[in-house]
Amino acid sequence: MAKDVVIRNVNYDDVPFVSIPIQNSQDEARFDDTSDATLTSGSQMLDGVTAYSQGTKVTGSIPTKTSSNLSASGATVTVPSGYYATQATKNVASGTATAPASISGTGASVSTGTNTLTLSKTISVTPSISTAGYISSGTAGNSSVSLTASVTTKGSTTYTPGTTNQEIAAGTYLTAKQTILGDSNLVSGNIVAGKTIFNVQGSAQIPSIVQDSTDYHLTIS
Amino acid sequence: MANITWLGASYSNVPWLTLPKTGGGTARFDDVTDTTATASTVLSGSSFHAANGTLTSGSVTFATYYVSSSNPSGGSNGDIWLKTV
């Protein structure tokens, strides 16, 4: 900036600074008009430095910080305001997560405070069955593992042999006695010779009867 | 502060001059040789007179510090984002 000044009744326009001889020297001292500077407070300069602005000497107050000024407590990292001349780094402790007592399925989510720790765990389970039988549903083995099994069952049934096979499907768990009927008449003498029923070869001889087509007589052999 | 000679008289430790302005009032002229600030120590947007009298602009820029689990909205180049998970 510059000022219009009067010295010894002489006007001087747009004077930015005044140079005056220094005592006992050939040099000059310079005095500046600083009204054009915009600095207004120490909060605009680093701590310790000084400058002139608007006719005032200003001392800076912005503190200089380094990595040593950073602090961490739990999940909170504190970065004090100030001037960081170089990159500041703060190492924080890595966390250790303990698997919860109960995990259901794969990809269970465990929440801790404002942070979320996601666990993905595949577990292999061998159920412990205390008594012989089948599993319909319920909890087995480790109490933290819930098992649900499904099997096909068949209750008490009586099977009467016939001319076709009767089958129990593979994998069927029989929950009660299955009865396949027998017959005391299934003996060789009750089966026509030449026929076999359930591995019993017939021996009964049945007479052959043939009726003549002319006189209708019967021939029994 | 300077030791100067003005119209035959000596004056010691003069920090500034006050001169009458044309049209009234006074104008102040400072000896700024003891200035220690440089552009790199003054915030951007502020200006001052350097030790040699030169009007100088500060160059220190602000950075904003964020701590969040998601990308902060807004912000500027140079800002710091500490992501929490």
Per residue in A76-118, pLDDT (tens digit) is 778 888 888 787 787 776 666 565 555 555 545 554 544 445 4
The answer as to whether A52 is a domain residue is: yes
Per the structure, the count of domains in chain A is 1
Q: Which residues contact A88 (CB under 8 A, 6 or more apart)?
A: A65, A66, A67, A69, A70, A79
Interface test with A, best of B48, B55, B80 (most A CBs within 10 A): B48
The answer as to whether A104 is a domain residue is: no
Least confident of A135-139, A161-165, B32-36, B65-69: A135-139
B48 and B70 assigned to the same domain: yes
B3 and B21 assigned to the same domain: yes
B44 and B85 assigned to the same domain: yes
B46 and B5 assigned to the same domain: no
Instruction: Express each pLDDT in B33-57 by its tens digit.
Output: 999 999 999 999 999 999 999 999 9
B44 and B64 assigned to the same domain: yes
B23 and B48 assigned to the same domain: no
The answer as to whether A46 is a domain residue is: yes
The answer as to whether A182 is a domain residue is: no
Q: Given the DSSP bridges, would you call strands B16-20 and B26-30 parallel, antiparallel or unpaired? A: antiparallel
Nearest to A49 among B31, B37, B69 (CB): B37
Range of the domain at B14: 1-31
The answer as to whether A150 is a domain residue is: no
B27 and B40 assigned to the same domain: no
Identity of residue A209: I
Test A34 with B84 for CB contact under 8 angstroms: no
- Minimum distance, in Å, between the CA of residue A126 and any CA atom of chain B: 35
pTM, entire model: 0.51
CA–CA distance, A59 with A50 (Å, rounded to integer): 4
Enter the tokens of residue A62. Answer: 């912005």
Nearest to A52 among B19, B43, B48 (CB): B48
B2 and B41 assigned to the same domain: no
B5 and B21 assigned to the same domain: yes
